[in-house]
Amino acid sequence: MIGEDVSELIDMIAAQLKVIEIARIKKSCRRCEKIVQVPAPSRPIPRSMAGPNLLAYVLTSTFDDHVPFYRQNEIFARMGADIADTTLVDWCGGAMKTLTPLIEKIEAEIMASDLLHADDTPIRVLDRSKSDKGLGKGVRKGRIWAYVRDQRPWAGKAPPGAVYQFAPDWKEEHVLGHLGQAGGILQADGYKGYAKLYALDLEGKSQFREAACWAHLRRDFHDVWTSTKSEIAREALDRIGKFYDIERAISGKPAELRLTLRQKETRPKVDAFRDWAEKQLTRIPGKSDLAKAFRYGLSRWSALTLFLQDGRVAIDNNAAERALRPIGVGRRNWLFAGSDADGETLARALTVIETAKMNGLDPQAYLADVLDRIHDHMNTRLGALLPWNWAPMGTVKVRAA
């Protein structure tokens, strides 16, 4: 032998469905004349044949990979199993009911943060009582809100997570309900439903301080530049781009350092932008889209510049916008939610899946383990199953200091 050549080939082992038989031996006692038997192990969904690994596969396929139920039915058929669409729907609902105590704990922890990102997006909801109003016959517009805690940009200690809430419409009462017990700083867009949260009371205090989004303002100028090639819009983009150059350099740094550098390097540029913007408004048509962009920014100047007063505040609301991307991808595949109940199931599923992903977990492996263990965890021990605390059975998770 004079040596060897080694090459690699990537192959795949196809998934398989298995039927697991659980045998529980019965024993009788001649002395006490009683029959004893080991209790049946708990199932993720009581009286259901779906095992934890199968349920985790269905949940991630539906809510993370965005595979509609009819396609999953075809995939299972290739494996030799006929699992009806309606059965898959029932499994998703049953799994979410099982996970509800854990999801509520995630919601409580995230919403207790004193700094939240918020955003919303529409979804189509099937409603056969509605006539065609431009959305398609029997379809109305629901809403999904995302509330995000992400302290990684300023080296905060709290783990990241996202809470999703479904609402059948866009009324402010839903936001006021979601954030009723919260407070601190809210970074969001200009949705009018947040106004009462920012309003001052008789003592001059408000439930939330408002932080606005420079990315939102930047998009307005970008739209003008794309359509008109306005040099003023181009300069606005360049000026805002310099703010972001500084932000990239301080990402992940402690809040105190971020604030110091922003005060030193960003504030002069932001102040110069405001002076320049006010001058441009005197030179351009008042009803133009460019003027509207300038007025929008100047009217929300206090909220846009809060990041210069607190190193924890982000320059934009991209954390919440990223959290809503799964909805945008999903609705191109599943098209609409079948009902309000399905919208609520979607929101709960995204809460646990996206929070797991934000904490670096494989959502399918995480869900399979949690669904297998959750019935045997008392409420006082649910904290061990939270994504930021979770460790697979038989392992110990060491958290960084």
* Structural domain contains residue 224: yes
Q: So what's the pLDDT on residue 40?
A: 77
Residue 265 belongs to domain spanning: 213-308
Contact 300, 194 (CB under 8 A): no
Give residue for tokens 């200091």: 401
Question: Considering only CA atoms, which of 175, 179, 178, 208 is closest in space to residue 192?
Answer: 175
Compute CA distances 77 → 5, 51, 62, 152, 185, whole Å. 41, 18, 17, 43, 50
* Structural domain contains residue 119: no
Contact 381, 70 (CB under 8 A): no
Per the structure block, which two tokens stand in for 309?
A: 């007063």
Cα–Cα distance for residue pair 110/385, rounded to 1 Å = 15
pLDDT digits (tens, 9 = 90+) for 19-77: 888 888 888 877 787 887 777 778 899 989 999 999 999 999 999 999 999 999 999 99
Per the structure block, which two tokens stand in for 74?
A: 């075809």
Strand partners, 122: 143
Q: So what's the pLDDT on residue 75?
A: 94
Cα–Cα distance for residue pair 275/283, rounded to 1 Å = 13
Q: So what's the pLDDT on residue 397?
A: 47
Cα–Cα distance for residue pair 132/151, rounded to 1 Å = 44
**401 Cβ contact partners less than 8 Å away, ≥ 6 residues apart:** none
Question: Considering only CA atoms, which of 214, 247, 193, 210 is closest in space to residue 116?
Answer: 210
Question: Considering only CA atoms, which of 143, 150, 236 is closest in space to residue 193?
Answer: 143
* Structural domain contains residue 376: no
* Structural domain contains residue 271: yes
Low-confidence ranges of the chain (pLDDT < 50): 396-401
Cα–Cα distance for residue pair 331/3, rounded to 1 Å = 55
Cα–Cα distance for residue pair 353/49, rounded to 1 Å = 23
Query: What backbone torsions phi and psi does residue 287 show, to the nearest 5 degrees?
Result: -95, 5
Longest dimension (CA), the chain: 102
* Structural domain contains residue 277: yes
Q: Which amino acid is at 82?
A: D
Q: So what's the pLDDT on residue 137?
A: 62
Q: Are strands 208-211 and 184-187 parallel, antiparallel or unpaired?
A: parallel
What's the burial of 293, exposed, middle or buried (CB within 10 Å: 0-12/13-18/19+)? Answer: buried
Q: So what's the pLDDT on residue 373?
A: 93
Q: So what's the pLDDT on residue 200?
A: 92
SS3 state of residue 119:
strand
Tell me how many domains the chain contains: 1
Contact 373, 381 (CB under 8 A): no
* Structural domain contains residue 246: yes
* Structural domain contains residue 302: yes
* The length of the chain, given as a count of residues: 401
SS3 state of residue 289:
helix
* Structural domain contains residue 250: yes
